[in-house]
Each structure stands twice: as structure tokens, then as C-alpha cells.
Amino acid sequence: MSVNNLSISAVGLVGQFETIQYQADDEAHTLLKQINGLQTIKILCRLTQAVQKHRGASIACINGESQFISMVEQLQIRVKKLLRLLMASADQYHTVSSIKLSGAISDWESILSGWSEDDIIENYEFHSHLVEVLYNLSRQCIEDCNMYIDPSERDIMLSGLLNGIPVHIESLARLRGLVTYAAKSGSCDHDCYIRISYLHKKVLEDFRALNRELKQLHHGLPKVITLDDILEQEYHLTHLLELVEKNILKKRISTAKADEMFTLSTTIIDRYWSVVDHTILLTEKEIFSKYLHVDT
């Protein structure tokens, strides 16, 4: 081979290397965007969980349940820190819209400014609106960060869990706030009764559908949730709904204890949030595995 031909071959190899290098950089950039997106979703999940819990605890406080005051104060500190963390993530990684995030912060500040003087239902609605805003931010983050490109069957399962479970959790979290209020007040006015009746039915339908889905996913995603966990959740949820029906809906004069209703509901809610946490961790692992996979 002549010197000239060798030079041409070398140039060709350099060109190929530059192309490969560019492709690798682009793939790495996509991976980093996905990982940053997952970190933002983690923050949004923690934030949503805290706002949901603040809704239930603040409703109890408004209704005179003083034992919830310290919980409300702690949750307010937690929400403030999580919002700051979310703002930092948005500024550095652009994983959520700064404009929409500013709107969420304004909603939270509105809740803080007058929650203790609010009507029960007003407080309930203000919190519920903020939770919906946070859910929309999470969904948008999943979409913008291209979390699932050329999805496999497992990816579809993970995506379904990330998008589906939080919606079901919110139905139960709304029920928690209202039944805690009804239990403390010892009565259930018409507006509250209608809302609890609707949520009682919706929670039952939603979680039956969710648990059927989880049982199907159990074989494909055993690290997300075990069959024992699913059965235990069914037991606790059935017990809660029976208490609501027996002590609130049938009597219209509540004989349930506020702290018991709040604690039982929270136990179920926290367990489902743990499923979301496991889903995020498994998604992160799947993303890394795909990136590091080498075709042979």
C-alpha cells in the first residue's frame, strides 16, 4: 500500500471515529437528560405526597384537632425545602417549566397565607388544585425527557405505573382529608357526604383495577411490588372503606376516630408511594442497562 493510500485510509478512520464519537456524545446526553428527569420526578413525588398529607392534617386542624398542628408545621417546612430543590433542578437541568413551577409556588403560598381561616371545603379544593398542577408537571417531565424511547414491554409497564399509580393515590388522599374531618366533627353535612360517597366508590373501583394490574405486572416486575404486598394492601384498603361506610356513610353521624382514619389512610397511601419509588429506581436501572449494552 502506498503512502498516499495509507494517508487516505487514516483519514477515513478518523472520520469514522469522529462520527462514532458524536453518536456516543448524543446518546450520553440523552441518558443524562433522562436521569435528571427521574431525579425531578422523585422530587415532585415527595412534594405531592407532602401536599396531600398537609391537606388532610390542615383540615383536621381547622376542625379543632390540635394534635395535628405539629404535623402541619413540619409538612410546611418540608414543602418549602422541596420547592427550593425543585427550583434548583429547573434552573440547572430545565426538566420542568419555570413558569408552571412559579404558578405552583404561588398556589402553595396562597394556601399558607390563609389555610387556618379557610372553610374546610375551600382548603380541600385549594390543595387538590395544587396536587393536580404537580401531577401535570410530572407527566410533562416524563414526556419532555424522552423517558421511554422505543419502549419494550417492561418499559410500558414502568410507564404505566409512573403515570397511573399517583392518580389512584390522589383519590385515596382526598378521601383521607374528608373522612378525617367527618370523624372529628362527628357529623357529615350534605356537601361532605356527597363527596365522600363519590370518593368511596371511586377509590374502590380504582384500586380494584390497580391491584389487578399490579398482580399481572408482578411476574414481569417482581422488584417493584410482591404479591404479599398487594394482598396486604387489599386488606388494609377494604378495612378502611368498611369503616367509612359503617361509621360515616350509613349513619351520617360519625362514630369513627379522626386519628384512626388519618393513620390507616396514610399507611395505605405511603405503601403505594413506595411502589412509585421502586418504579423510578427500576426505570433508572433499565435506562443505564440500555446505555451500557453492547451488541455482539
Domain boundaries, the chain: 1-147, 151-296
pTM of the prediction?
A: 0.85
Q: Is the pLDDT of residue 129 over 90?
A: yes
Q: Is the pLDDT of residue 115 over 70?
A: yes
Pick the closest to residue 165 from 236, 270, 286, 38 (CA basis): 270
Identify the pLDDT of residue 6: 45
Cell of 37: 428527569
Higher per-residue pLDDT: 170 or 20: 170
The residue type found at 251 is K
Identify the pLDDT of residue 214: 72
CB 158 within 8 A of CB 283: yes
Q: Is the pLDDT of residue 147 over 60?
A: yes
CB atoms within 10 A of CB 39: 17
| pLDDT tens string 177-219 | 999 888 888 777 888 899 999 999 999 888 888 777 777 666 6
pLDDT cut 90: percent of the chain above it: 36
Q: Is the pLDDT of residue 128 over 80?
A: yes
Q: Say which CATH class 1-147 falls into.
A: mainly alpha
Cell of 27: 446518546
The residue type found at 63 is N
| pLDDT tens string 64-91 | 888 899 999 999 999 999 999 999 988 8
Pick the closest to residue 52 from 288, 221, 257, 270 (CA basis): 270
Cell of 46: 415527595
